[in-house]
Amino acid sequence: MVKRRHQKMARKRIDRLFEEAKKAASDERMDRADRYVELARKLGMRYNVSLISQYRRRICKKCYSYMHPGVSCRVRLRDGMLITKCNRCGTINRYVYQR
Amino acid sequence: MKNNSLVEEYIGASIEIIESSDKKYENIHGKVVDETKNTFKIENHRERIVPKKGCLFNIAINDSWKTIKGEDIMYRPEDRIKKLG
């Protein structure tokens, strides 16, 4: 039960951190947004909580920077795929979407 | 959980220092923008790094102010849940 309680708290804090990361990225404070992602990932790893898919898509798969469309990544839709390019490391992430 | 406010997320919360062993840190208030094991980074008009040790903080958690002793939260932010929860 202790574990469940810890995981519940960790999830709450991860939600909070992504909220703050979004705010920081809208102010173009990418250093802060990246730091919040780092903290959120650490919380997830420490308490065995996986980040939900909405959150995973906001993180670059290679350099783990926060991806905010128009600020730190480019987003295109093409052939049934959502393609994002990270502006920091240039990695292209592809996600299939349902038409 | 005995004291729930010790394991909450402090980033983004309003904070003020009501007492400190070093006078220059007293009456600083603002928003927490970063946290490490030993320090808070507080932004008001400029960023300041304030040690947790020796300070008494007032932190707004879920719209209510909680008084927290710096010595009680001297852990890495991700370790705090396990150590204190």
pLDDT band at residue B3 using 50, 70 and 90 as cut-offs: low
Residue of B9, B10, B43, B59 to mutate when probing chain A, most A C-beta within 10 A:
B9
Neighbours of A55 (CB within 10 A): 18
Please state whether B79 falls in left (phi above 0), alpha (psi between -120 and 50) or beta.
alpha
Domain holding B33: CATH number? 2.30.30.210
SS3 B18: strand
Total domains in chain B come to: 1
pLDDT (mean) for B78-83: 89
- Two tokens, residue A23: 């705010």
What residues of B are in contact with residue A16 (Cβ under 8 Å)?
9, 11-12
Q: Which two tokens stand for residue A46?
A: 């420490």
B29-52 residue pLDDT tens: 999 999 999 999 999 999 999 999
B58 lies in which domain range? 4-84
Mean pLDDT, all residues of chain B: 90
Touching A: B residues 23-62, CB under 8 Å: 33-35
Cα separation, A72 vs A25, whole angstroms:
8
Contact A16/B82, CB-based, under 8 Å? no
pTM, two decimals, is: 0.91
| pLDDT confidence tier of residue B1, bands split at 50, 70 and 90 | very low
In A1-99, the DSSP E strands lie at 73-78, 81-86, 92-96
Enter the tokens of residue A13: 């804090």
Global ipTM: 0.88
